[in-house]
Structure 1
Amino acid sequence: MEKPSVSAHAVPVALARCEGYDRRSLDQLVGEVLDAARIAQECSLKVGTKVLVKPNLLMSKSLACTSPGVVAAACRWLRDHGAQMAVADSPGFGRARSVARAIGLESALRPLGLDVRELDSPVPVTLPLPPGSRSAHSGKGGTRFHVARAVHECDFILSLPRVKAHGQMLLTLAVKNCFGCVSGLHKAVAHAREGRDPAYFADCLAALWAVLPPVAALADGGVAMHVTGPSGGKPFVLHLMGASASAVALDEALYAVFGLAPEAVPLGAALVRRKAQGSAASGTEVTFPLLRPENFDARGFELPRELSHTSFHPARFVQSCLRRVIAAVKK
């Protein structure tokens, strides 16, 4: 089953220059791109709409995560539109609350009366993989991901990725950020199991996007991560903030910023194969109400020269498990 369209007309992708991360600048900039992307209209945002705000809280390292100021600015914008918000993630290492505290997100959200929740209470979901993509890793019942219950209960997701290079998937942007909707250790298991075949893993991520509620996105590219990633890269000042009601359309615009076709990125290619709504392959028309991809200078942004295996190394898998157990005990 394909994801329903948030709009039958052209999808706006709003790109703007991000000159700094102070609160006043971010409130103005985030409001500008969310308004220009027509998020309220495209996502039918009204009083009482349940929005899952999904930052990237990979680990307790600031550059590996979405900037706290961007998350808070997005939440203020949503509050002003009457939304009911939950800010949540399932980090690769540690617990959401401890990561949020370490990077300053907890204090950034406190004035809004919001805390950061763990995406837990998993519900198994069979992935709608395209014909021919199933591998030896699939069981008789098909490939399943365990998606947090809160994800199923929201009206739409606002994916808030930091723009980062990725040593396994080349780039990690708005759609890849949705992998955090898979709960806790189930995510590590899925990474270790489905990640043994990179193309298959990309197909799984695209299929996960397809079963989620509509995914809008706000990408934090003021300071991006390059060379490698998603955690060990270096900062790159890209001066970009972008938003769209379609995470797929925003990702394709960001590929263009780096001079890449969607097919050059494993997840982009998987979305092209399934003609995901929001992609150029689906015939979606995209408009740029503010700046265009060619208005940004990404010269010097280094992508990984070779992509590593997408499966977690056993030692890394055990490390992730131990960190979660320790964090749970301390809680």
Structure 2
Amino acid sequence: MRHAVAIERAGDYQSDVVRPALDRLLEPFGGMASFVKPGERVLLKPNMLAAKEPERAVTTHPELLRQVIGLVREAGGIPLVGDSPGVGGIRRVAERSGILAVVEETGAEFIPFDETVTVRGKGLFREFQIARPYLEADRLINLPKLKTHEMMTMTCAVKNLFGAVVGAAKAGWHLKAGADRELFARMLLEIYLLRRPDLTIVDGILAMEGDGPGSGDPRLCGLLLAGTNPVAVDVIAAELAGIPKKLLWVERAAEKLGIEGWDRATIDTRGVPVDEAKVSPFRLPHISDVQFGLPRFLKNRLRHYLTSRPCGNPEACTLCGICRDACPPGAITIQDGKLAFDYHACIRCFCCRELCPEGALGVREGALLKMIKKCV
């Protein structure tokens, strides 16, 4: 089966730039009317990771959301906007990111993900607690942000669907699968298979490179992507950002599981040619781990030396406790007026760095990892 991914340019977030770009982007698919029928309730799922301003490139930009809401309305659909942020409460995140203002101005319905449904898994994991609105909407439009990710290397179409897991349950999944990138990638794919989006539109106008998804640097790319297969969309997004396949944990897991979209040879692009849309390679997160593929007994013995681990920056830390409360294994405490880490319990998911509002958590590399980096 072949998969289409469209690419278009949009140099900024002005409405008279974004709307025409979206029209061109969706033209190869027949426009929004091909995905939305009159009277259907259409859930728009942006990235609402944390309460950060739009210019920080942490969340899906509100202007892109505004224009997609308009397209859904023109097709006769009823737009809903929902997500479950990692920390901070949905309303605070929506206010700070500018998303709530757009929802109120457009009259869309704001749907916090606070009610769950137990869904039987279709693979390795037996069941998931998924937000009820995510499952019950007539249509689902995925609106991810193109960003680097300290654990998965890249977060885009597939990873954005982790937002269907509600609130504190995310920490539980990090604890269950987060110590192994391959296992975590498989979990993300199994969530995707529970409810496949009808359409994915990627906000790559202002992307993020470096230590994403919450502490990286904004990167102006001026791009929008769209497709019906999130795995294929991610493959093209990574190609445009210069991220090598060997670092794409989700796509590698998709290949092993035989989930369509991982094979570049099956993807046809539309709109701006790939070679013209490519940007200089993204600055990637630090190499945080070189232990995967080792036998378990070696992993356990060498883990401290072959991985990076979070550390506090006392000058920037306000001791707000967000990292402590968000840490899946409870490896962070506050002692004697500073953060203390239990590195034997730490699973290196970097949720603490991802969610810290002050950017007060750094990275300390193991001795063997430092030596290996000098040789690559």
Matched, 1:93 2:87: yes
- Do 2:161 and 2:192's aligned partners in 1 also have CA atoms closer than 8 Å? yes
SS in 1 for 2:85: coil
Measured in 1, the distance between the counterparts of 2:128 and 2:205 equals: 32
The higher radius of gyration belongs to 2
Task: Find the counterpart in structure 1 of residue 49 from structure 2.
Answer: 58
Task: Find the counterpart in structure 2 of residue 181 from structure 1.
Answer: 164
* Of 81, 105, 115, the match for 1:121: 115
Q: 1:38 to 1:262 in 2, by over 3 A?
A: farther
* Of 262, 267, 287, the match for 1:306: 287
SS in 2 for 1:54: strand
Q: 1:103 to 1:195 in 2, by over 3 A?
A: same
SS in 1 for 2:37: coil
Task: Find the counterpart in structure 2 of residue 70 from structure 1.
Answer: 64
Indicate the RMSD between aligned Cα atoms, in angstroms.
2.6
Q: Which moved more, 1:164-173 or 1:56-65?
A: 56-65
Matches within 5 A, 1:21-170: 21-38=13-30, 40=32, 43=35, 45-62=36-53, 63-129=57-123, 142-170=125-153
Shift of 1:25: 1.2
Task: Find the counterpart in structure 1 of residue 325 from structure 2.
Answer: 318
Measured in 2, the distance between the counterparts of 1:86 and 1:126 equals: 25
Measured in 1, the distance between the counterparts of 2:246 and 2:195 equals: 23
Shift of 1:146: 0.9
Q: Which moved more, 1:60-69 or 1:302-311?
A: 302-311
TM-score w.r.t. the length of structure 1 is 0.82
Measured in 1, the distance between the counterparts of 2:188 and 2:148 equals: 17
- Do 1:54 and 1:158's aligned partners in 2 also have CA atoms closer than 8 Å? yes
Measured in 1, the distance between the counterparts of 2:178 and 2:231 equals: 21
1:191-247 superposed Cα distances (whole Å, 9 cap, x missing partner): 222212211111110111011143421101111110111100001111111111222
Shift of 1:167: 0.5
Matched, 1:244 2:244: no
Measured in 1, the distance between the counterparts of 2:172 and 2:308 equals: 12
Shift of 1:12: 2.4
Measured in 2, the distance between the counterparts of 1:286 and 1:244 equals: 10
Matching residue's letter, 1:147:
I
Task: Find the counterpart in structure 1 of residue 239 from structure 2.
Answer: 256
1:85-128 superposed Cα distances (whole Å, 9 cap, x missing partner): 21000000122222111121122232310243211211122332
Measured in 1, the distance between the counterparts of 2:85 and 2:150 equals: 18
Task: Find the counterpart in structure 1 of residue 268 from structure 2.
Answer: 287
Q: 1:11 to 1:42 in 2, by over 3 A?
A: farther
Task: Find the counterpart in structure 1 of residue 302 from structure 2.
Answer: none
Shift of 1:277: 2.8
SS in 1 for 2:179: coil
Q: 1:38 to 1:111 in 2, by over 3 A?
A: same
Count of aligned positions: 299
Measured in 2, the distance between the counterparts of 1:90 and 1:232 equals: 19
Q: After the TM superposition, which segments of 4 or more aligned residues of structure 1 sit over 4 Å from their partners?
A: 308-315
Percent identity over the alignment is: 26
Measured in 2, the distance between the counterparts of 1:233 and 1:157 equals: 28
Q: 1:317 to 1:206 in 2, by over 3 A?
A: farther
1:38-64 superposed Cα distances (whole Å, 9 cap, x missing partner): 464664x21122321000000011321
Measured in 2, the distance between the counterparts of 1:249 and 1:38 equals: 19
Measured in 2, the distance between the counterparts of 1:41 and 1:272 equals: 32
Measured in 2, the distance between the counterparts of 1:21 and 1:40 equals: 20
Shift of 1:280: 2.1
Q: 1:260 to 1:275 in 2, by over 3 A?
A: farther
Measured in 1, the distance between the counterparts of 2:309 and 2:198 equals: 26
Matching residue's letter, 1:71:
L
Shift of 1:261: 5.0
Q: Which moved more, 1:169-178 or 1:179-188?
A: 179-188
Task: Find the counterpart in structure 1 of residue 209 from structure 2.
Answer: 226
Measured in 2, the distance between the counterparts of 1:310 and 1:123 equals: 36
